[in-house]
Structure 1
Amino acid sequence: MMAAERGAAANTLSAYRRDLCGAQETIGPLAEAAREDVARLAAAWAALAPSSAARKASALRQFYGFLVDEGERGDDPSAALPRPRARRPLPRLLGHDDIAALFTRAEEEAAGNAREAVRLLALLELLYGSGLRATELVSLPFSAVPRDAPFLTVTGKGGQQRMVPVSNRARAALSRWIALRGGAEAVGGRFLFPSTGRDGHLTRVRLFQLLRALALRAGIAPERISPHVLRHAFATHLLEGGADLRVLQTLLGHADIATTQIYTHVDSARLVALVNARHPLGQARGAQARAALAAAPPGV
């Protein structure tokens, strides 16, 4: 049902399967579990982060809802599941200086036209310049490369297609990469970024590793970098520049604008910090606090 009716992505299906199998290992066959059995999951999930417990509970609620709809059960025991309050964390951010450092290093390394360096520059341009998800990027077919129109046709979550803009910089980087990669007849010709040494495309894990290695060489803490962090930077910096939230939703491929609205909180946090740092009252209070601390007796 999740695949055929909702069009859930492969990663989503895999996550649901893991959650349901994990619950079954704890309480036995899920289809036969009583309300008391389901209630035991709260203790089993006690050590989990609220967001993880909420995700597992959601998977089970949907599972039992499906059984009721199909007539497999006459009752729904999911009311006994815990309801942890999972706060959506603000995305990790990269400032403009960090982005500049990443691109400077990538461009320096690609200056010699080495195949791996040019590929990494093209990947970086598409992550930050078009806001692609990691899976969308590595699985891009060669046929998605723009010829006349400056757009990529991307297949996102649930098999939904959307068009995303490709900047002049990204198009130039892609042209350099294709010249080294070869055309559609090259090894791995189906994919824009084929895997090395096997049929298929570059993996998400390898993309993650390449970006963290680049960050280290650029003088940025590697743990601050990931493909999704660059997607966040794309969205945040567009919003800072005045992009409309609905346009941003379309570019990111969000089914629900509530998902896109997280970036308004990011921008609001930046504005609060700006007011505290630049507003005369904020500066005056900061100066008073520093003066009081300097006048305090030792040890206070």
Structure 2
Amino acid sequence: MDEAELPEAMAAVLADYERHLVSERDLTPHTVRAYLGDLSAMLEHAARLGHVDVTTIDLRTLRSWLAQQQTLGKARTTMARRATAARVFSAWLLRTGRTETDPGAQLGSPKARRTLPPALRADEARALLEAAATRADDGSAVGLRDVAVLELLYATGIRVGELCGLDVDDLDHERRVVRVLGKGRKERTVPYGGPAERALDTWLRRGRPELAASGSGPALFLGARGGRLDQRAVRSMVHARLADVPGAPDLGPHGLRHTAATHLLEGGADLRSVQELLGHASLATTQIYTHVTTDRLRQAFRQAHPRA
């Protein structure tokens, strides 16, 4: 059963909810697809149980759906995300007068296991940037771009989507800050250091003009054909450059984000500042990096302290 096969009343409500997510909550297309996929599955399950519209969906129905997901072997993180999608949808139904109750308010969800995000050591991060700079010694525009991308990712900890969305005017060279448009279209200003500034200056003076084309527009980073640099290209490049560093873990751009956060905290930055730099809506999201630094401290203690 797909959305087209849902009972007509359910399909209409789901279409209204999609418009709400896009126009009122201004969520990214990826997030909207994730929400709609989860809710379509929930409504299909409800329809198989005999429901023809959303007014009769109750807590038992929602729990039955999640139980089915568990029997299918879905990961705890997936289960938690789907429970959240159901709760937010149920609250919207009540708020907009489509139902008289909010069964999702009582719906629990499995706690996702918080795994420690992998991160580079400081020497590995330095080796990564030095290896990229060595490759760029040939003066190629792509090589200069890759150095600037890596320096900026490591300096700021911004998301790969945020990096690819940057325009030239988002850089303030005098103050060494970049204006970033994050999740929920929230804007923040993130500082970067001297090495990133030098790499960006070289890219803008020597590399970008070589790749620029009529359709480049204001994009800060360009692909080989002159269009705005694609996220997939950045991921491939990061994996390739990390392969030049012996023993380094195989991380993507998000691994450099983890690395930046970890090194900030290890260097003495406070958690609130790191939260603001990374653009986390909740401090709890940032707190996972304290586990990374604590784990490293514990490892250093075991290796170095005579009474460990």
Deviation per residue, 1:179-224 (Å, 9 max, x gap)? 221299854132111334374x2221221111111122333566x2
- CA gap of 1:153–1:220, structure 2 versus 1, over 3 A, is same
Partner of 2:199: 173
- CA gap of 1:30–1:172, structure 2 versus 1, over 3 A, is farther
Amino acid at match of 2:155: G
Amino acid at match of 1:281: R
Partner of 2:102: 76
Residue 178 of structure 2 aligns to a residue in which SS? strand
Partner of 1:43: 67
- CA gap of 1:277–1:247, structure 2 versus 1, over 3 A, is same
Partner of 2:233: 206
2:190–2:277: 8 Å Cα contact kept in structure 1?
A: yes
Match status 1:20 vs 2:20: no
- CA gap of 1:84–1:110, structure 2 versus 1, over 3 A, is same
CA distance in 2, matches of 1:245, 1:7: 28
Q: List gaps (5 residues or longer) in structure 1.
A: 283-300
CA distance in 2, matches of 1:122, 1:183: 15
CA distance in 1, matches of 2:68, 2:275: 37
Partner of 2:171: 145
Within 5 Å, give how 1:278-293 maps onto structure 2.
278-282=304-308
CA distance in 1, matches of 2:53, 2:86: 9
Of 222, 233, 236, 1:194 maps to 222
Amino acid at match of 2:238: L
Partner of 1:267: 293
- CA gap of 1:196–1:25, structure 2 versus 1, over 3 A, is farther
CA distance in 1, matches of 2:53, 2:149: 43
Considering only aligned residues, what root-mean-square deviation do their CA atoms show, in Å? 2.4
Where do 4+ consecutive residues of structure 1 move more than 6 Å? Answer: none
Partner of 2:209: 182
Query: What's the CA shift for 1:113?
Result: 1.0
2:55–2:98: 8 Å Cα contact kept in structure 1?
A: no
Query: What's the CA shift for 1:118?
Result: 0.8
Residue 31 of structure 2 aligns to a residue in which SS? helix
2:76–2:111: 8 Å Cα contact kept in structure 1?
A: yes
Identity of aligned residues (%): 36
Q: Which moved more, 1:53-62 or 1:91-100?
A: 91-100
- CA gap of 1:233–1:254, structure 2 versus 1, over 3 A, is same
Within 5 Å, give how 1:84-233 maps onto structure 2.
84-179=110-205, 180-182=207-209, 186-187=213-214, 188-197=216-225, 199=227, 201-220=228-247, 224-233=250-259
Partner of 1:52: 78
- Give the length in aligned residue pairs: 280
Residue 307 of structure 2 aligns to a residue in which SS? helix
CA distance in 1, matches of 2:53, 2:113: 28
Normalization by structure 1: what TM-score? Answer: 0.85
